[in-house]
Chain A
Amino acid sequence: MSELRDLYQEVILDHAKRPRNFGRPERFDHEAHGHNPLCGDKVDIFVILGEGGTVEDVRFEGRGCAISMASASLMTELLKGKTETEARTLFEHFHEMVTHEAGGDALPDAAPDDLERLEVLAGVRQFPMRVKCATLPWHTFNAALASERADGVTTE
C-alpha cells in the first residue's frame, strides 16, 4: 500500500485536479500532439520561445490519468525559462528517475531544485505500466520543439 501512496502523493493529486498552465494559448511557436493508444491519454503541448531559443512559456491541454496530467502540469512549471539543452537534460534525468532505482549520475548536471520537484513522480518506477503516462508529456514537448514552427505565427 505504501507504494500506492508513493504514486498518488498529495502533490500529484493536486496537480492532476488543478493542472497549471492548462489551455491553448492564443499564439505559440511550436505544438505537438501526444497520444498513448494503450490507455487513451492525450496531451497537446504548446511552446512559446523567447530570446535565444529559451522557453518563454509552455502550456498544455489534454485528458488522461492523474499521472499523465500531473506530469504535464509539473513539466510546464519547470520548463519555463529553460534553454532547449537544459530542457532535454532535465528530461533525461526524469526518464532515468522513473525507470531506474539509482541513476542520472552519468548525465550532465541539472538544477537540484528541479530534480527535487520531479521526485514526486519517482513512485511510478514501481509501476512499469505507468511509466509511459509520466513520460508522455515530455516526449510530446520534445516532439513540439522538433516540429516545424506553427503556421501563422509571427516571429522576429
Chain B
Amino acid sequence: MNAIPERRADVNFYDVEAIRRDFPILSRTVHGKPLVFLDSAASAQKPQAVIDAVTSCYAEEYANIHRGVYFLSQLATEKFEGARKKVQRFLNAGEVREIVFTRSATEAINLVAASYGRKFLKRGDEVLLSEIEHHSNIVPWQMLRDEIGIELKVAPVDERGALRMDRFRALLTERTKLVAVTQMSNALGTVLPVVEMARLAHEAGARVLIDGCQAVPHMPVDVRAIDADFYVFSGHKLYGPSGIGVLYGKAELLEAMPPYQGGGDMIVSVSFEKSDYAPIPHKFEAGTPHIAGAIGLGAAIDYVTAIGLHRISNHEHALTTYATERLMGIDGVTLVGTAPGKGSILSFTVEGVHPHDVGTILDHHGIAVRAGHHCAQPVMDRFQVPATVRASLGMYNTEGEVDALAAALRKVREIFA
C-alpha cells in the first residue's frame, strides 16, 4: 500500500501483489492448497490496516463514546465521529449528520421500513422493487405490507439479468411511493442504472432507497449524483468489520422520521412523562454502538480510497472479462447473469453437478466459492435453477486464481463424468 499514493497519478497502476500482501489471510493454505478466495460478495477479507485500527481501538483508545468526561472517552468519541466523517466523504453526502451507523445494511433497510415506512406510507401505497433484490430488501417490505397494507411491485429482469427498464417505467405510477432497489445484484452482478431510475422515480413522486452493499466495494459512489433519498451498505463487504453498517438519508427525511429504537444515546432528556429525542443521526443510534467496527470501517474506507475505487474497478472489470472467457471455455459450464456492464460476480451452473458438490470439490482445491441461492431466491426462480455456484472477485484477486478455478472446474467435470 505504501508505494501506491506516490503513483496516484497513473490510473493504470495496480500492483495486485502488493495489495495481496496487505491481506494477511491470503497467505494461508486450505486443505494444503493456497487459499483462493472467491467469495468477497458474501464478505470480504480484511487488510492489515483495518485489523490494526480495530486492535488499536481496543488496545489504546477504547472507552464508551458520547458519555465520559474523561480523556479516553473523548478520544474514542473523536475516532468514532471521525469514521462517520469518512463515510460522509466516501459517499459524497452533503452533511455528516446524514450518516447513521447501523449494525448492517439489513438493519438500515429495516430502519427505513419501520420508521419512514410506518410514518409516511399508507394502505394502497406501492413500493417498487426489482426482481434481483437480496432477501434483506424484500422481507422488511413484506413485513410492512402485512402490517399496514402497502403493496409490493416487482420490476423484472431479462434473460441476461438486466433490468427491464420498460417494465420499470410502466410499474412506476402515482401510487408508487418508494423505489427500493439494489445498485448491484449479489447473485448476478447486474449493475442497475440507479441514476436514471432515481430520476424517473422522483418524477413520479416516489422516494428512492438504494442498497449499495455490492456497489461500494467496486465503484465510486456519489449519493448526491444518484440523488438517493436513502443509501445503505455493510462494512464487511467493503473490507471492513462485520457488525457495522451505514444508512445515508437526506437530512430533511431523517429529521421527519420517528426513532427506530429507544434507549440511551438517542435522547437529550428523559423523564417518565416524556423524552426529547437527540438530533440526527443520534436519534437513530440507540444504545452503545459497535465502536471498534465503525473505526475499522473508517480504516477500510481510507484503504480503498488510497488505492482508488476507479483503479479497483478497472482491475476487477478486466479480471471479470478474463474469468468470463475462461469459464465459457469449459464444457458444461453455463453463466447465469450476463448483463452488459455487470460487476465482478460470476454465477454459474455445471451441467449434471449440483452447485454444492461443485463447492465441496472446489473447497478441496483451496478455492472458496459460494454455492446456493445467495439470499436471492426470486433470482433463482427467474432463471429456473435451484442454486448456482458463485465466484465473486475482489480487489485482491488475480488471473492466476481464475486459472485455478478453471482447472478445478475441469476436475469437477472429470469426477462427475
Contact residues of A with B, CB < 8 Å? 1, 3-4, 7-8, 13, 17, 38-42, 63-67, 127, 129-130, 133
Q: Which residues of A contact B356 (CB under 8 A)?
A: 39, 41, 64-65, 67, 130, 133
Q: Which residues of A contact B355 (CB under 8 A)?
A: 39, 65
* B372:A38 contact, CB within 8 angstroms: yes
Contact A13 B360 (CB under 8 A): no
Compute how far the CA of A13 lies from the CA of B360 in the bound complex, rounded to whole angstroms: 14
Q: Report if A39-B371 is in contact (Cβ < 8 Å); known contacts: A8-B415, A64-B354, A65-B357.
A: yes
Bound complex: CA A65 to CA B352 (Å):
10
Whole-angstrom CA separation of A40 from B416 in the bound complex? 20
* B373 at interface, CB cutoff 8 A: yes
A127-B360, A133-B356 known; A63-B372 Cβ under 8 A: no
* Given the contacts A3-B364, A8-B415, A39-B371, A63 and B386 also touching, CB distance less than 8 Å: yes
Number of CB contacts from chain A to chain B under 8 A: 46
The answer, yes or no, to whether B172 is at the interface (CB within 8 Å) is: no
B368: min CB distance to chain A, Å: 12
Closest to B33 in A: A1
The interface residues of chain A lying within 8 Å CB-to-CB of B352 are: 17
Check B364–A39 contact: CB distance below 8 A: no
From 362 to 417 in chain B, residues with beta carbon under 8 angstroms from any chain A beta carbon are 364, 371-373, 380, 386-387, 415-416
Candidates B357, B373, B387; contact of A67 at CB < 8 Å: B357
- B340 nearest CB across to chain A (Å): 29
CB-based contact B372/A40 at 8 Å: yes
Give 6 A-B contacts (CB < 8 Å), ordered by A residue. Answer: A3-B364, A17-B352, A39-B371, A40-B372, A42-B386, A67-B357
Give the complex CA separation of A87 and B373 in angstroms.
Answer: 33
With contacts A1-B364, A4-B364, A13-B416 known, is A40 near B386, CB below 8 A? yes
| Residue B361 at the chain A interface, CB threshold 8 Å | yes
Q: Please indicate which of the listed interface residues A7, A40, A67 has the most CB atoms of chain B within 10 Å of its own CB.
A: A40
Say how far B34's CB is from chain A's closest CB, in angstroms.
Answer: 15
CB contacts (< 8 Å) of A39 on chain B: these are 355-356, 371-372, 387
- How many chain B residues touch A (CB < 8 A): the figure is 17
Q: Does B353 contact A (CB under 8 A)?
A: yes
A155: min CB distance to chain B, Å: 35
Say yes or no: A130-B387 contact (C-beta < 8 A), given A13-B416, A39-B372.
no
Residue in A42, A65, A67 with the greatest tally of chain B CB atoms within 10 Å: A65
Q: Considering the complex, give the chain A residue whose CB is closest to the CB of B371.
A: A39
Query: What per-residue 1/0 map shows which CB atoms of B321-343 lie under 8 Å from chain A?
Result: 00000000000000000000000
Asked if A8 contacts B387 (CB within 8 A), the reply is no
Q: Are A66 and B354 in contact (CB under 8 A)?
A: yes
Partner of A130 from the list B360, B380, B416 (CB cut-off 8 Å) is B360
**A66/B372 contact (C-beta < 8 A), A3-B364, A4-B364, A130-B360 known:** no
Cβ–Cβ < 8 Å partners of A1 in chain B: 364
State in angstroms the CA–CA spacing of A64 and B372 once bound together. 11
Q: Knowing that A64-B386, A67-B356, A130-B356 touch, tell me 19 more A-B residue pairs with CB under 8 angstroms.
A: A4-B364, A4-B415, A7-B360, A8-B361, A8-B415, A8-B416, A13-B416, A39-B355, A39-B356, A39-B371, A39-B372, A39-B387, A40-B380, A40-B386, A66-B353, A67-B357, A127-B360, A129-B360, A133-B356
B380: chain A residues within 8 A (beta carbon)? 40
Please name all residues of chain B whose beta carbon is closer than 8 Å to the beta carbon of A65 when the two chains form the complex.
Answer: 354-357
Say how far A131's CB is from chain B's closest CB, in angstroms. Answer: 12
Set of chain B residues within 8 Å of A63, measured between Cβ atoms: 386
A38 and B386 CA atoms in complex are apart in Å by 11
- How many Å from the CB of B111 to the closest CB on chain A? 26
The complex places the Cα of A104 from the Cα of B284 at a distance, in Å, of 54
A85 to B36, CA, bound (A): 47
Compute how far the CA of A38 lies from the CA of B415 in the bound complex, rounded to whole angstroms.
Answer: 24
A130 CA / B355 CA spacing, docked (Å): 12
List B contacts of A133 (CB < 8 A): 356
Q: Bound state CA distance, A29 and B27, in angstroms? A: 56
A122 to chain B, nearest CB (A): 15
Docked pose: A39 CA to B386 CA in angstroms:
9
CB distance from B13 to the nearest CB of A (A): 39
Chain B residue nearest to A12 in the complex (CB)? B357
